[in-house]
A and B are shown apart, each in its own frame.
Chain A
């Protein structure tokens, strides 16, 4: 079993919910990425999602777009990023998950990319522009290498599409809370509990919810409904204005507490 699913199983036994922070790799630079990962590991993250900076992130809102621009301007490449991930001092109990746009995998060659990902110690992948319909090769390679795939479902997904995404996901099912791109929203969508219920009615695999969750209060609400909470833009925004990372640490600690 891959490390991501294992982590969710362990949490479930303990009756806990997963806290999954997202950071942009190489933002503002790679040494900061290493520090951040170590800090988030110490602050109680269960998994950490690391965005691979891409020139055309069409599922992302302004906060993450700008983080990708900063990372690319400071010379972050996929190769440099995975070198950092290989060496980072973080407990093996905290699986690292790459969020990457499909063209970056394709240009390196799917198999080569997957081998390097496994080699770097990363345990999972989220590919926002690759629906399961187009993912046959990725699914096969991921199974061979025990890399957890976490497909996405959206409020627009039909029950058939939800079960298809769940079947293809060997980690968790990434449940997009709203119709939209990543970013901070003042309120959770009122339909969210219904939507999570719809997802859970067709699958038994772990459900983690992301997009538009930025405050501890929102995280707490979602934690009551799902198996995991993903927080991206709020953390990325905190990183951008915070050279000492004190604010990020506080936010992460508050989110952890709220989820528990």
Chain B
């Protein structure tokens, strides 16, 4: 086993209780066995096509573009996936792995509930027991997704510790895994956690960037000038960035949640405002206080409300291959409304962060320039949150 592969530069690694080290070795071995296996990949491709509806469209947002500037803005429509977000790309891949590893029980953590729904969905499809950990605060603000998971047959476990959000749900999922490591597969939802998870999740999400590149080649006969995606844990952004990382003329922009402002205590901008630290098994940028306590992150979007970030993003920040910016709740809501009104597409609040940053860049784009914004999910789950922010009673 080559330990170099555990890291992205100095980031990543395996900072986990000893009990899990053997399980991570087992996962790594299974993944390296199946990642290049034709049967595995054929089964996954077929599921992507017939179950999830891939390839997702690359859509030219004409009104959105022309009202902003001279360039063209394309939207990668991950919101059109089965279950309404990119999360299913990863859960389909990992459930095939879990099945081949002979695991009987699937556990997952969820923030906004999209990963929980995507996990419950594939567990239902493959007839596996599924337990989803979700913070109490998130359960309250995402009741629709909670009900979907229950309909799908998953057990949703409310997490009452700490900030009662994604971070705490992840702690609880790890504790479950430590206790049930023999028969349980931990289906992590983002490019976070100990090696090999950040690589596995990135690889299963990389389909987003591969399709985007091919589609744009057909439509515009060129590479995009800008690719923009939101970053919470960072799976949709790693998914769309990965293919373009060697293409250095493509500007990659990751958008974090600035919440009420990065100069306040209410944000989730781990890359912009954090420091390297260890959370959930990996070394990466992290919001923590000088004593080392993890700071509670805040964002209007439950899917970005996470004090850490995937280790590969930390590496891409330090190496400056990706530019990381942040947008506030207010900018996000304005972008949410603008995309909805100009294109008839209601984005998830997470994706609306990417839209907000994209709008700013689009105003400066020159004729002939092309931008791709990843619409990682649809906004149906967020209508209550948006209505509350607009002071509308439903």
Contact = CB atoms under 8 A, between A and B. Distances in A.
A156 B179 CA distance: 11
B294 interface: yes
Contacts of B179: 179-181
B167 interface: yes
B161 A65 contact: yes
Interface in B166-192: 167-168, 171, 174-175, 178-182
B21 A161 contact: yes
Interface stretch (A16-24, A40-48, A129-137, A249-257): A129-137
B15 A176 contact: no
Interface string A16-54: 000000000000000000000000000000000000001
Interface in B230-256: none
Given A103-B294, A107-B288, A156 B171 contact: no
Contacts, number: 114
B275 A107 contact: yes
Contacts of A176: 18-19
Category for how many chain B residues contact A: 35 or more
Contacts of B309: none
Interface in A84-132: 101-108, 128-131
Nearest to A158: B22
Interface in B259-286: 275-281, 283, 286
Interface stretch (A55-63, A226-234, A236-244): A55-63
B218 interface: no
A67 interface: no
A203 interface: no
B14 A134 contact: yes
A62 to B, nearest CB: 8
Nearest to A69: B161
A72 interface: yes
A129 B17 CA distance: 5
Nearest to A135: B15
A77 interface: yes
A134 B13 contact: yes
Contacts of A61: 175
Contacts of A108: 290-292
B53 interface: no
B292 A180 contact: no
B18 A154 contact: yes
Contact of A129 (B23, B168, B278, B293): B278
A1 B15 CA distance: 28
B16 interface: yes
A104 B286 CA distance: 12
A105 B293 CA distance: 11
A107 B15 contact: no
A181 B22 CA distance: 16
B182 A103 contact: no
B367 interface: no
Given A56-B171, A58-B175, A129 B15 contact: yes
SS class of chain B's interface: helix, strand, loop or mixed?
mixed
Given A72-B293, A134-B14, A157 B21 contact: yes
A156 B294 contact: no
B19 A78 contact: no
B9 interface: no
A154 B17 contact: yes
A58 B278 CA distance: 12
Contact of B293 (A54, A59, A131, A158): A54
B329 to A, nearest CB: 24
Contact of B175 (A101, A161, A181): A181
Contacts of A105: 292
Contact of A107 (B18, B175, B181, B290): B290
A107 B168 CA distance: 20
Contacts of B393: none
A129 B286 CA distance: 16
Contacts of B293: 54-55, 72, 104
A152 interface: yes
A181 B14 CA distance: 18
A107 B276 CA distance: 8
Nearest to B175: A181
Interface in B1-53: 3, 13-23
A56 B162 contact: yes
A134 B288 CA distance: 20
Contacts of B175: 58-59, 61, 181
B136 to A, nearest CB: 15
Contacts of A131: 14-16, 18, 21
Given A56-B279, A131-B16, A180-B179, A107 B291 contact: yes
B178 A179 contact: yes
A153 interface: yes
A248 interface: no
Contacts of A69: 161
B162 A156 contact: no
A107 B22 CA distance: 28
A58 B17 contact: yes
B137 to A, nearest CB: 16
Contact of B22 (A55, A59, A128, A156): A156
Contacts of A180: 19, 178-179
Contacts of A101: 292
A171 to B, nearest CB: 16
6 contacts: A54-B293, A59-B175, A107-B275, A107-B292, A108-B290, A131-B21
Interface of A: 54-59, 61, 65, 69, 72, 77-79, 101-108, 128-131, 133-134, 151-158, 161, 165, 176, 179-181
Q: Which 10 A-B pairs have the closest CB atoms?
A: A104-B292, A107-B292, A154-B19, A180-B179, A156-B22, A55-B293, A152-B18, A103-B278, A154-B18, A59-B17
Given A54-B293, A55-B293, 8 more contacts: A55-B162, A56-B171, A58-B17, A59-B175, A78-B291, A103-B279, A133-B21, A179-B179
